Structure 1
Amino acid sequence: MKTKNNSALIGAALLMATSAVGPGFLTQTTVFTTSLGASFGFVILISILIDIGVQLNIWRIIAVSEKRAQDIANVLVPGLGGFISLLIIAGGLAFNIGNIGGAGLGLEALLGIDVKTGAIIASAISIGIFVNRQAGKAMDRFTQIMGAVMILAIIYISVVSKPPITQAALRTVVPLQVDFMAIITLVGGTVGGYITFAGGHRLIDAGVTGAAALSKVSNSAVMGISVASLIRIFLFLASLGVIGQGLMIDSGNPTASVFKLAAGNFGYRLFGLVMFAASVTSIIGSAYTSVSFIKSFNPRIAKNENRIIIAFIVISTVIFALIGKPVNLLIIAGAVNGIILPISLSVMLFAAYSPRIVGDYKQPIFLTLIGVLIVAVMAYMSIKVLFSFL
């Protein structure tokens, strides 16, 4: 049982991390490094601190209550769970269309095949995970392998690009400029929307719940953020290294440009591998977590969960095939999910003090204070971003 729990904890952490590290994550990191330079390190640092505070609060409350987020919300206010589920599923679908497009682009760069054909292949691989009778184990193993592939490839590119480490370290703590939109987008793309709940809901399905499991749940949450942040940091350094050499990053496909400028044609093929791995794991994470938000509403949904997940992937693929890769969809979806975050985190913080939900569990006051601070900061930045669009 201990080995099974450890496997589930690692699987939950990597499901969260690989759900976050999709094509939008890769594109956002390169785009903001290009615009902010070394000061983007400060944005990464702030986003990591916010991410950890969010995940520790949410994962612990889900684990101790032994309820999914929508059920927690419905206990607080009847109907609230349905509203949050609608937001999460809409955001998950938007992300998934981009994820499928990203997978197609990855296979085009890696193998030279047509983007739409590559997208269909990636969808078929994702569907194969949920056709498996032991879909949970298959998902955990697949995300572990793909996560390792991404980390090793991006570390290699960051080394060969020879980034200015000293400058990056200095501007991480003393930035020349701060961009609220960048922070909102990074947080939204890492722990916003469905991603916030991917690992917590995976632990519910694996049976890793209750007060006795809280220390391990907390470690799993931090592990997930650490993996995603590690990938973000090395990609930031790789992009900064290319910029530091005076090379021009192609705005049409910025991440591919970084890989190619750093390591030539081999780097471009490596980009294809990373893009495919990031995209296909995000397809899986998005579909699994989005459907987990409705599975408790009706026994038939829970009974046919894998079929509904497959349908979610198929619908996303059909939409992509019809409209192609939407311009800026992933960055906008990341920002929108960042705006949703204060709402979902507020619900969970109220739940932490409801005996109907958590029994006699006492949420550590420092976690509550961190959570309230994050809600205030994210709400403030969200309002500024919204007004910037008006």
Structure 2
Amino acid sequence: MAESVTSPSAASAAARGGFMAAIFLMATSAIGPGFITQTATFTAKLGAAFAFAILASIVIDFVVQLNIWRITALTKRNASDTANAAIPGAGYLLAILVLVGGLAFNIGNIAGAGLGLNAMFGLEPKIGGALSAALAIGIFLSRRAGLLLDRSLIGLGLLMIAMTVIVALVSNPPVGDAVRQMVLPEIVDFATITTIVGGTVGGYITYSGAHRLLDKGLVGEQNLAAVTRASLTGIAVTGVMRFILFLAILGVVASGVTLDLSGQAANPAAQAFAVVLGEWGMRIFGLIFWAAAITSVIGAAYTSVSFLVAFRTMGDRDRNIATVIFIAISLAVYLSLGTAPAAILVFVGGFNGLILPIGLTIFTYVGFARADLMGGHVYNRPLLIASAVVCALTWYMGFNSIGPIFAFLSA
């Protein structure tokens, strides 16, 4: 029998597809319903000065993601396995935290999907959340789950960007003022930066793209340059979406419109889109919010379940079944809660802000002291120094996020 040989061009195309999948898994996980709600709220409060907070969050994102992706590629291990090898028992702690945080995040993501369908079609949010969760479950039950996962994330990610660009162009934001305040802000609000970072780089999001590359086999020192480029591209995609969304809402705020930020039912992002395009604006907001939510449901479930390998070996089928169960549990908790979706989104951002510094500390230690886990590779020192600085900063931010958690639990 003639042996089947994969041509170099086909292998190259598969590698490009794998990198694209990882890029969009990370980017769409970072741009979830919580981030959209936070962006609208802070833009209404700070105006053009919020550009500085977004830039700061992207710089932090750059350091975190670049180091996590590169070290994962070099160790060729899942994050929990790397943590256990570096510090015995640390991987189990990290896995439990990510699973609990991912579950909390997914409850908020399902809530966000419900709000998106409510804005689009007037569906009751809990019904919309249930339908969205069923769609995500269908993807993982498919025989071609991996392909459906990748194509869904890329397609919905591009859709979000395109729709937001339209609103940003119509709202006519003061771009020059935003660019100036990106580097010379009139207001610097560190609490805002803390909240944005916790909601866009915290918890499972840190590991989503890196674990997708691991599943695709795109690891090892031979792939390090490509992994670095993919990480930078993912951060760029995320940063572009953040700024476009900010500009879309800034145009409304700068025109003199006051967005209602009072009460848990307030939805400043929806108000901004409605001001720009009327009823169609509300429909477009619903589409963007739903796309952000459903991709985050998929990303949170996929990445959280990837940490279960810390406790037992799992094949692809086992992981898909576990992912379906994870989404179903998230849905059941959401449907049973009497809490408003906005409150859930505040809680999950704070909780996941606590997880980020723990994992980043372990990976920074691996980079500095455990070359043996990276095949003897001497890790880039400037990147490690940057990682250590951001690590200290995220510990500070993590402590700041404790307040919202206790406020949520006592409400």
Which TM-score tier does this pair reach, normalised by the shorter chain?
A: over 0.9
Q: What is the identity, as a one-letter code, of the residue corresponding to 1:49?
A: V
Distance 1:156 1:180, change over 3 A: same
2:373 aligned to which of 348, 357, 361: 357
Distance 1:303 1:77, change over 3 A: farther
2:225 is aligned with 1:211: no
2:129 aligned to which of 119, 126, 138: 119
Q: What is the identity, as a one-letter code, of the residue corresponding to 1:267?
A: G
Percent of pairs with identical residues? 43
Query: 1:157, 1:13 → 2: CA distance?
Result: 24
Query: 2:285, 2:59 → 1: CA distance?
Result: 28
Q: Offset of 1:335 from its aligned partner?
A: 2.9
Q: Offset of 1:320 from its aligned partner?
A: 1.0
Q: What is the identity, as a one-letter code, of the residue corresponding to 1:357?
A: L
2:388 aligned to which of 369, 372, 375: 372
Q: Offset of 1:387 from its aligned partner?
A: 7.4
Query: 2:381, 2:387 → 1: CA distance?
Result: 10
Q: Offset of 1:184 from its aligned partner?
A: 1.5
2:283 is aligned with 1:269: yes
* Aligned residue runs from structure 1 range 196-345, under 5 A: 196-251=206-261, 252-300=266-314, 304-324=318-338, 325-345=340-360
What secondary structure, in the 3-state scheme, does the structure 1 residue paired with 2:309 have? coil
Query: 1:222, 1:12 → 2: CA distance?
Result: 12
What secondary structure, in the 3-state scheme, does the structure 1 residue paired with 2:232 have? helix
- Is residue 91–residue 310 contact of structure 2 (8 Å, CA) maintained in 1? no
- Write the deviation string for residues 64-99 of structure 1: whole angstroms up to 9, x where unpaired: 110011001101122111111111111111111111
Q: Offset of 1:301 from its aligned partner?
A: 7.0
Distance 1:256 1:84, change over 3 A: same
2:75 is aligned with 1:59: no
Q: Offset of 1:112 from its aligned partner?
A: 2.1
- Is residue 106–residue 274 contact of structure 1 (8 Å, CA) maintained in 2? yes
The unaligned stretches of length 5 or more in structure 2 are 1-10
- Write the deviation string for residues 148-190 of structure 1: whole angstroms up to 9, x where unpaired: 1100111111111111111111111111221222112211222
Q: What is the identity, as a one-letter code, of the residue corresponding to 1:279?
A: A
Query: 1:319, 1:384 → 2: CA distance?
Result: 26
- Is residue 184–residue 339 contact of structure 1 (8 Å, CA) maintained in 2? no
Query: 2:297, 2:348 → 1: CA distance?
Result: 15
- Write the deviation string for residues 351-377 of structure 1: whole angstroms up to 9, x where unpaired: 123133112111111100110111122
1:136 aligned to which of 146, 149, 155: 146
Q: What is the identity, as a one-letter code, of the residue corresponding to 1:373?
A: V
- Alignment-derived partner of residue 109 in structure 1: 119
Deviates more, 1:252-261 or 1:219-228: 219-228
Question: Runs (4+) of structure 1 moved beyond 4 Å?
Answer: 300-303, 384-390
Deviates more, 1:13-22 or 1:329-338: 329-338
Q: What is the identity, as a one-letter code, of the residue corresponding to 1:339?
A: L
Query: 1:130, 1:298 → 2: CA distance?
Result: 20
Distance 1:382 1:176, change over 3 A: farther
Q: TM-score, normalised by structure 1?
A: 0.96
Query: 1:309, 1:332 → 2: CA distance?
Result: 23
Q: Offset of 1:228 from its aligned partner?
A: 1.6
Q: What is the identity, as a one-letter code, of the residue corresponding to 1:169?
A: V
- Alignment-derived partner of residue 7 in structure 2: none
What secondary structure, in the 3-state scheme, does the structure 1 residue paired with 2:143 have? coil
Query: 2:393, 2:379 → 1: CA distance?
Result: 21
- Write the deviation string for residues 94-115 of structure 1: whole angstroms up to 9, x where unpaired: 1111111111111111122221
Deviates more, 1:294-303 or 1:308-317: 294-303
2:102 is aligned with 1:74: no
What secondary structure, in the 3-state scheme, does the structure 2 residue paired with 1:304 have? helix
The unaligned stretches of length 5 or more in structure 1 are none
2:38 aligned to which of 22, 28, 43: 28
Q: Offset of 1:385 from its aligned partner?
A: 5.3
RMSD, matched Cα: 1.7
- Alignment-derived partner of residue 347 in structure 1: 362
